[in-house]
Copies of this chain bind each other. A is one copy, B any other.
């Protein structure tokens, strides 16, 4: 951290003990990430920076006797969009749980709105309750079959962002086949960041062997896509930083960490991330704090677990003023009764103890109009979602608790050569919403179980077209029209009437409302959706949102029809 020249004299005088510090945290026990010790010491803070540890006096002194002080936690990889909150609101949720810094990849928003999304997010993350560093999405669109709003986010477009101080590098290179094969456009993006010594995030689900070596050679430096200890071990040995992921969908911590612990390897190159985690889960169990807690429970020494959740990530990304309690570091400090469970009694962010006041403040910036109008759907009618069918036809099989699908051939009801949905075989539809192509496609869906209605969502990875499913066309169209009217969100329709809706007008992905309001609406409408009989183990909106993601086997649907995925 560069000390502002007008404050240098005061800060140094406070460090030397010749002037009182602004705030001194007195007598606590500090998690020292450098020596990996617990250290009894005061912490002196001036403005937003720690000026010294040792014995200090301050204008304000906070008695921390018997308390533990740990550096604010850092999420090594997350998509803010999964929270459905704009950054100013999300920050309030995260910082309460002790996460003070995140490395965010705005892959979803950029898929919808391209550089306009990036411009907004860079500004919207500037003055909020956490620090946000941005990785530029490398894989927009996520596959060549995706029709998103942005088109391709090219190396050329990236150039104007690479020297922005909070842009740390290239986001997860999920088009790993392109990376491994040296595909030209991907290579241009990798080059762009490697030339200036920035970071390249990896994404290679259970990548192994020579393909993994090629992926490392091409520049990927980390991977959050390890689902087994064995795979994490191979990646670690091969030079990848292993980002241990514990989110809402993917919970890899137990498998990965137990594997690494059993192998007895160093955890210095392991960090924590959530990737995607919903606010209700964050509020009920924590965020990176959950990872730290679970690591401690598995036997990782507490100081090391905190270090994995703070300093190791900061050092990896070259954030020289984050992740530690020492002079020159940003004063992001968790004050806790115990090291475990990981739950801050007080959070100091940038030198300020957060209180009700900060949590009630509105940190949101106005969202540009164009980002709140991303759903282009004109008149839609049954003609768009007819499914010509024989009695025996191709069906998407949804599986409870999984994102994988099955490609089935089953007997469905057919009338006049068209598939007729029912509660056993729902109809799933995708409507292109970005480019006024008015394309849509539909297919039979088994395993959802909806009867007497339909649900729809504009959140659908990664192109975020509109997906709907139901047992009749009228409710499907009604729910989709409702989403178009809200310019994005979730909707439930039953017997021709909207029984639940959540507006997500920002990119069709996020709301600017406070977290509590969004969660309440979501709870209500999830209950409405469940009334329609959706099977256990299926989340009406989240499971649906992955049905158009053409990178997960076995079969998906886009606005142009069914796609088989190997």
Contacts and interface: CB of A to CB of B under 8 A. Distances in A.
Given A52-B213, A218-B12, A239 B5 contact: no
B324 A187 contact: no
Nearest to A1: B194
B5 A266 contact: no
B210 A266 contact: no
A286 B12 CA distance: 41
A39 B51 CA distance: 43
Interface string A218-248: 1101000000000001001111100000000
A52 B210 contact: yes
A364 to B, nearest CB: 29
Interface string A28-42: 000010111101000
A180 B16 contact: yes
A521 interface: no
A217 B318 contact: no
A156 interface: no
A263 interface: yes
Given A12-B180, A187-B5, A265-B37, A238 B53 contact: yes
Query: How many copies make up the complex?
Result: 2
A1 B233 CA distance: 23
Interface of A is mostly: mixed
- Pick the most buried of A32, A35, A269: most chain B CB atoms within 10 A of its CB: A35
A254 to B, nearest CB: 20
Contacts of A211: 16
A355 to B, nearest CB: 27
Contacts of A53: 213, 237-238
Contact of A35 (B11, B32, B54, B237): B237
A213 to B, nearest CB: 3
A8 interface: yes
B239 A12 contact: no
Contact of A51 (B50, B190, B213): B213
A5 B265 contact: no
Contacts of A182: 8-9, 12
A233 B282 CA distance: 38
Interface stretch (A76-84, A97-105, A116-124, A326-334): A326-334
Contacts of A265: 35-37
A70 interface: no
Interface string A46-64: 0001111110000000000
A436 interface: no
Contacts of A190: 2
How big is chain A's contact interface, by range? 35 or more
Interface string A13-25: 0011100000000
Contacts of A354: none
Contacts of A218: 3, 8, 12, 328
Given A2-B195, A5-B187, A214 B35 contact: no
A197 interface: yes
Interface string A175-219: 000001110000100110011010000000000011101101111
A268 interface: yes
A536 interface: no
A236 B34 contact: yes
Contacts of A8: 182, 187, 218
A497 interface: no
A23 to B, nearest CB: 15
Contacts of A495: none
A5 B214 contact: no
A328 B233 contact: no
B210 A16 contact: yes
Best-surrounded residue of A191, A210, A217, A233 (most CB of chain B within 10 A): A217
A320 interface: yes
A238 B326 contact: yes
A315 interface: yes
Contact of A327 (B195, B213, B329): B213
Contacts of A213: 15-16, 51-54, 327
B2 A210 contact: no
B324 A239 contact: yes
24 contacts: A2-B190, A2-B191, A2-B219, A3-B191, A3-B194, A8-B182, A8-B218, A9-B182, A12-B181, A15-B214, A17-B210, A34-B236, A34-B237, A34-B266, A35-B237, A35-B263, A36-B266, A36-B268, A50-B217, A52-B216, A54-B213, A197-B320, A219-B328, A239-B326
Given A12-B181, A34-B268, 14 more contacts: A1-B194, A9-B182, A12-B182, A15-B210, A16-B180, A16-B213, A34-B236, A35-B236, A36-B268, A37-B237, A39-B237, A53-B213, A217-B328, A318-B318
Interface of A: 1-3, 5, 8-9, 11-12, 15-17, 32, 34-37, 39, 49-54, 180-182, 187, 190-191, 194-195, 197, 209-211, 213-214, 216-219, 221, 233, 236-240, 263, 265-266, 268-269, 315, 318, 320, 324, 326-329
Q: Which 4 A-B pairs have the closest CB atoms?
A: A239-B326, A52-B213, A36-B266, A15-B214
